[in-house]
Amino acid sequence: MDKQLIQACGDELYQAMIDRTPVRPLTERFSDITIDDAYHISLRMLERRIEAGERVIGKKIGLTSKAVQNMLKVGQPDFGYLTDSMAFSQGEEMPISERLMQPKAEGEIAFILKKDLMGPGITNADVLAATDCVIPCFEVVDSRVENWDIKIQDTVADNASCGLFVLGDRAVDPRKVDLATCGMVVEKNGSIISTGAGAAALGSPVNCVTWLANTLGQFGIPLKAGEVILSGSLVPLEPVKAGDFMSVSIGGIGSASVRFI
Amino acid sequence: MAEVYENKLTRSQIEELAIHCENAELEAYEITKITDDFPNMTYKDAFDIQWEIRRRKEERGHKIVGMKMGLTSWAKMAQMGVEQPCYGFLADYFSVPEGGEIKHDELIHPKIEAELAFVLKDELKGPGVHIGDVLRATDFVMPAVEVIDSRYKDFKFDLKSVIADNSSSTRFVTGGRMADIADVDLKNIGVVMEINGEVVQTGAGAAVLGHPAASVAMLANMMAERGESLPAGSFIMIGAITAAVQVNKGDAFTVRYQGLGTLSGKFV
């Protein structure tokens, strides 16, 4: 894809997000789109957000489960950017009618870094040493593509289908919790709908952050001290609508909840 | 449920069906679900068949070493098309040492499930047993992996058939680290199941009826329907925290438990 087309696609996805009007998949219209093109489109979309006054506060890792990777026929995760406007506080209401189109909630573990991580060559030990704390999190993913009809390039271009997120209010030292075995329980409107454990994301949430640091390192981009890194869902995605109440608890870490209006 | 207290089968039919189901277990062959031939059988009949199998094993000198709950997750009940959990018993020869070998040829189409086991220090006697009673009566909890092996063709059954088949019980491995109940967040405890080094399932305690202790309470209350209780010292497996995963000869499994170590075994 040439620069002009990449810019046009990024602008289109940005506008789709602002207008809350999904578009047809890019892969349907541009059959030769590569994953690299898609990341450049995602960067254009981010550029528009920054122009509108948003600030990058972290990153998210997506496609971390085997099931989702198989569905999209990819052998790797992807990533997107988190901005301050996506962050919601514990207990706050998330307005679907203003901000989202076809939201789905996923329970995750968020990492808050205290040191920069610059790949390549980052190991799990580096990630743990650079992690200030881990926090329970709901990521609410959303797709700017009609009916979530996505291939890997579509979701990468669309900022890894990131929507909004909520962090819980308990931060735990990573030394205090076994991130691979910690259990997760997700409840929707008071019913338990799914359970999982840390290993559901690439064997460990730490693996996910390591992957991200090394992947971004190839482009000379560090993970920065203070950034929030959403490490990937540990349970199947759950579609949500106005009126739904979701809560997640993670063994040894804590809980987070969100109400949709 | 009046069906719990009523028989539609005769005593000799119950005894014949017990032999029918137990032989399938002992000789590892498939049978069709018994409700196909006895559509009128009741829950009482089904449990009578299970208790007759238990009596037969004890008569041959086997010891009953524990109890298990089955179909305790909403997902599993939906998957199997049944409406409520069931229980079964564990005989001495079901027990496999930690890190031990399970002979695949002795089984039909085994699957493994990650569970937890409760060991009681006091008797639990229903009806009316609740989670608080269970926690008070629990000596400790420990990791457990259950091998299930429905004797029914393709694991297809209804609730009455599976009850008569001792709730698909066949083998179990227990070990890892024991823990005081006050030291474990039973609802959120995570488990990770790996087969041949690959993560195949993850889950958390709440997958079992919302809380693992709820499963033990339900067992005590179901046993009370027959005037039975769970004596002090009882070993009770609570039901699957993860989906059951099919295993083949040669497969090695490891289940990691949050804060409670690991359990492993191998199918040979």
CATH number at residue A224: 3.90.850.10
A234 CB near a chain B CB, below 8 Å? yes
What is the average pLDDT across A4-25?
Answer: 97
DSSP H or E segment with residue A180: none
Query: What's the confidence (pLDDT) of residue B3?
Result: 62
ipTM, two decimals, is 0.91
Query: What's the confidence (pLDDT) of residue B203?
Result: 96
Query: What's the confidence (pLDDT) of residue A200?
Result: 97
What is the average pLDDT across B241-258?
Answer: 97
A22 CB near a chain B CB, below 8 Å? no
pLDDT tens column, B21-60: 999 999 999 999 999 999 999 999 999 999 999 999 999 9
Residue B4 lies in a domain: no
Confidence of residue A91 (pLDDT cuts 50, 70, 90): confident
Confidence of residue B84 (pLDDT cuts 50, 70, 90): confident
Query: What's the confidence (pLDDT) of residue A160?
Result: 97
Residue A28 lies in a domain: no
Is residue B78's pLDDT more than 80?
no
Q: Is A177 exposed, middle or buried (0-12, 13-18, 19+ CB in 10 A)?
A: buried
Residue B15 lies in a domain: no
Query: What's the confidence (pLDDT) of residue A66?
Result: 84
Distance from the Cα of A257 to chain B's closest Cα (Å) equals 15
Chain A residues whose CB is inside 8 A of the B189 CB are: 183, 251
Q: Which carries the bigger pLDDT value, residue B77 or residue B177?
A: B177
Chain B residues whose CB is inside 8 A of the A238 CB are: none
Confidence of residue B81 (pLDDT cuts 50, 70, 90): confident
Please answer yes or no on whether A181 and B258 come within 8 Å at the CB atom. Answer: yes
How far, CA to CA in Å, does B75 sit from each of B22, B212, B242?
A: 28, 15, 10
Q: Which residue, among B258, B260, B262, would best test binding to A if mutated, counting the most A CBs under 10 Å from its CB?
A: B258
Residue A31 lies in a domain: no
Distance from the Cα of B218 to chain A's closest Cα (Å) equals 18
Query: What's the confidence (pLDDT) of residue A169?
Result: 86
Quote the domain boundaries for residue A173: 56-260
Chain B residues whose CB is inside 8 A of the A198 CB are: 190, 192, 202
Q: Which residue, among A185, A188, A250, would best test binding to B if mutated, counting the most B CBs under 10 Å from its CB?
A: A185
Please answer yes or no on whether B204 and A184 come within 8 Å at the CB atom. Answer: yes
Residue B72 lies in a domain: yes
Residue B56 lies in a domain: no
Residue A18 lies in a domain: no
Distance from the Cα of A238 to chain B's closest Cα (Å) equals 15
Best CA proximity match to A57, nearest among A232, A250, A194, A230: A230
Q: Which residue, among A65, A177, A192, would best test binding to B if mutated, counting the most B CBs under 10 Å from its CB?
A: A192
Option in B207, B210, B256 nearest A181 (CB): B256
Please answer yes or no on whether B190 and A249 come within 8 Å at the CB atom. Answer: no
Is residue B222's pLDDT more than 60?
yes
Percentage, residues of chain B above pLDDT 70: 98
What is the average pLDDT across B248-268?
Answer: 97
pTM over 0.90: yes
Supply φ then ψ for residue B171, to 5 degrees: -145, 160
What is the average pLDDT across A147-161?
Answer: 96
Residue A217 lies in a domain: yes
Query: What's the confidence (pLDDT) of residue B4?
Result: 67
Quote the domain boundaries for residue B107: 64-267
Distance from the Cα of A189 to chain B's closest Cα (Å) equals 14
Question: What residues contact B240, with CB distance under 8 A and at least 6 apart?
Answer: B72, B73, B76, B113, B114, B115, B146, B207, B208
Is residue B231's pLDDT more than 70?
yes
Query: What's the confidence (pLDDT) of residue B214?
Result: 97
Is residue B2's pLDDT more than 60?
no
Q: Which residue has the tokens 């207990």?
A: A91
Residue B39 lies in a domain: no
What is the average pLDDT across A54-74?
Answer: 91
Distance from the Cα of B238 to chain A's closest Cα (Å) equals 16
Best CA proximity match to B241, nearest among B260, B267, B220: B260
Query: Looking at the 3D structure of chain B, how many domains does it have?
Result: 1
Query: Looking at the 3D structure of chain A, how many domains does it have?
Result: 1
What CATH number does residue B164 fall under?
3.90.850.10
Neighbours of A219 (CB within 10 A): 8
Residue A23 lies in a domain: no
Q: Which carries the bigger pLDDT value, residue A30 or residue A70?
A: A30
Start-to-end C-alpha separation, chain B: 43
Query: What's the confidence (pLDDT) of residue B261?
Result: 96
Chain A residues whose CB is inside 8 A of the B199 CB are: 66, 199-200, 203
pLDDT tens column, A109-142: 999 999 999 999 999 999 999 999 999 999 999 9
Q: For residues B261 and B177, what is the distance between their CA atoms, to the nearest angstrom?
A: 6
DSSP, res B82: -
Distance from the Cα of B199 to chain A's closest Cα (Å) equals 7
Residue B161 lies in a domain: yes
